[in-house]
Amino acid sequence: MTIIASSVPFRPDPPATTAVSNTAVTITWTAPNSGGSPISSYTIKIRHSDNVTYSDQTSNCDGANPAIFSALSCTIPISVLQAAPFNLDWGYDIYATVSASNVIGTSLTSVEGNGAKITTNPD
């Protein structure tokens, strides 16, 4: 009999955030080493305007959703990021983190990813 040891996934690399015109922000990440057990979901968190607190936004960025899970990306409307709890205004940078989970547990959270800027069209 062979015993294969597994562990939580490795810590993911920082995700990238990209502004989609002035309507949305796309967050993308790469799958880390699974630790020997398949990754089952990702948790993506976005930094609030206080520059300290992070929250997930599962309506648009649920890393357990099969489409988001397989794409390794999600798109969040800027109107959602401007509302509570994020309260990000025009000109703010978007910072996100990601963690990966498997049957063993959850990885360490990534370092925050680069910030796309919420931009508006000029008058």
CATH number of the domain that residue 70 is part of: 2.60.40.10
Q: Does the residue 5 lie in any domain? A: no
Name the phi and psi angles at 110, rounded to 5: -65, 165
| 93-94 and 116-117 beta bridge pairing | antiparallel
> One digit per residue, pLDDT tens: the chain, 123 residues?
666 678 999 999 999 999 887 889 999 999 999 999 999 999 999 999 999 999 999 999 999 999 999 999 999 999 999 999 999 998 899 999 999 999 999 999 999 998 888 876 555
- Say if CB 118 and CB 90 are below 8 A apart: yes
Is residue 1 in a domain?
no
CA distance 28 to 40: 17
Among the listed residues 31, 27, 2, the one whose alpha carbon sits nearest the alpha carbon of residue 107? 31
* Domain extent at residue 107: 16-117
Residue type, 95: Y
